[in-house]
Structure 1
Amino acid sequence: MTQETQAGLRGRLIDAGVELVHAEGAQALSLREIARRAGVSHGAPRRYFPTHLDLLSAIARQGFAELAERIAAVVGEEAGDWAGARAQLDALARVHLDFALNRRGMYELMFRHDLLESGRLGLRGTSLPLFELLVRLVGRALPEAAPDPASVAAAFWANLHGIAQLWAWGSLQLAARTDDPEPLLRAALDAHLGPVGRTR
């Protein structure tokens, strides 16, 4: 089998997994079902991915690539002033939440602890650039005497994940008595960065 054919079959398996996770969620990603959808034998994935986690990691990379592309489209060139950075953080938060709610299976897969923590799979290197972008924007949006931007960015990142998960469960709609997540995103930004009207 040629290298080109191998790469093609490997790509088909990943594409099949991406389609499956979007259609049925992360729990549906069995090797057998991915192979069936890719039109190969159930043993074929093992020739391209040593373990199930390797294939899941390759699928999750596609999710990070899509999220990064969506964020790049709204952030564009990173703002140098705090007001521009704050606006970009607002846009980033909305894109993040939209992705989490409309790509729920993929989002769940992307942030699976076992995938991210496996040094062999290297998925952390795919996720870190998104967080590093967040740190840079937070650093520009914070007051000059603010604490370490990485700590603030990590807290905001955790807040975003919490909003996304609780909104997906329907819990926040009940607690906040709203069907619009925008005020929650603004409140999270204000809590971590200060209100929009402040001066630097």
Structure 2
Amino acid sequence: MDHGIPLRERLIDVGVELVLTEGTGALGLREIARRAGVSHGAPRRWFPTHHALLSAIAHRGFADLAGRFAAATANAGTGAGSPREQVRALADAYLGYALEHRGMFELMFRHDLLDSTGRPDTGQPQLRASTQPLFRMLVSLVSHCREDGDEDGDAEVTAAALWAGLHGTAQLWAWGSLPLVLGDGRQELVGRIVDAVLDAHLGRVADA
């Protein structure tokens, strides 16, 4: 552990490593402090609540996911790829992240454990500011996927339903439920499930 790193960042680094290797159950304040080499009360200086520290850890996950989304849409051809192709790329990136980083993925969407609004007076991250742009990106693409053109409200509902389908796929696969009923050919089957989810929620799509 590099003690030259500011304590706040060191605590987050330890939390990220813990959640990636051992899952959300390992994210106790005392354990994070111990691994960071500080007293168990030291984290309170930077994170007044456990939720605040967990939120800072989850913020790193959303930053990673946002980077994957940006790379996915770029690879799909942001200028030339159809909205459907870009939605498919986002879906693949989302499920790939979920299955590769199960602990972080679980934490990121446990808003019962997180402080979504943050605390501007202490510089705590606002998770809402991290999650909303990702969802708005999906809404924008969904709104361009139908030939008849969705109203914004309809696009939001469709995007939310699509997200719920993808998230459920990720959870059921990670828990072993989908492999149990469909077999264990992850790459092929997950791709087919993604296409089925997109077909169910997007219907006919425009190439433009």
Does TM, normalized by the shorter one, top 0.5?
yes
User: Structure 2 matches for 1:140-151, cutoff 5 A?
Assistant: 140-146=144-150, 148-151=154-157
Contact 1:142 1:149 in 2 (8 A): no
Distance 2:147 2:182 in 1: 29
Distance 2:141 2:66 in 1: 15
2:181 alignment counterpart: 175
Contact 1:138 1:153 in 2 (8 A): yes
Given candidates 104, 121, 128, the residue that maps to 1:124 is 128
Given candidates 57, 70, 76, the residue that maps to 2:55 is 57
2:140 alignment counterpart: 136
Q: Tell me the alpha carbon deviations over residues 148-169 of structure 1, each in whole angstroms, 9 at most, x when there is no partner.
A: 2111101000101100000111
Distance 1:145 1:130 in 2: 21
Given candidates 71, 86, 92, the residue that maps to 1:73 is 71
The percent of aligned pairs where both chains have the same amino acid is 56
Q: Tell me the alpha carbon deviations over residues 23-74 of structure 1, each in whole angstroms, 9 at most, x when there is no partner.
A: 1001100001111121211111011100000000000000000000011011
Q: Which runs of 5+ in 2 are unaligned?
A: 120-125
Distance 1:154 1:50 in 2: 33
1:193 alignment counterpart: 202
Contact 2:82 2:207 in 1 (8 A): no
SS of match in other structure, 1:114: coil
Amino acid at match of 2:128: R
Contact 1:26 1:106 in 2 (8 A): yes
Distance 2:99 2:161 in 1: 20
Distance 1:97 1:154 in 2: 15
Amino acid at match of 1:149: A
**Structure 1 residues 80 and 192, CA gap change in structure 2 (3 angstroms):** farther
**Structure 1 residues 12 and 199, CA gap change in structure 2 (3 angstroms):** closer
Aligned length: 194
**Structure 1 residues 188 and 178, CA gap change in structure 2 (3 angstroms):** farther
Distance 1:144 1:113 in 2: 35
Contact 2:52 2:114 in 1 (8 A): no
Q: Structure 2 length normalisation: TM-score?
A: 0.84
2:122 alignment counterpart: none
Distance 1:20 1:199 in 2: 44
- Give the CA RMSD over aligned residues: 2.4
**Structure 1 residues 152 and 80, CA gap change in structure 2 (3 angstroms):** farther
Q: Which runs of 5+ in 1 are unaligned?
A: none
Distance 1:100 1:115 in 2: 18
Q: Give the C-alpha shift of residue 119 in structure 1.
A: 3.4
Contact 2:11 2:32 in 1 (8 A): yes
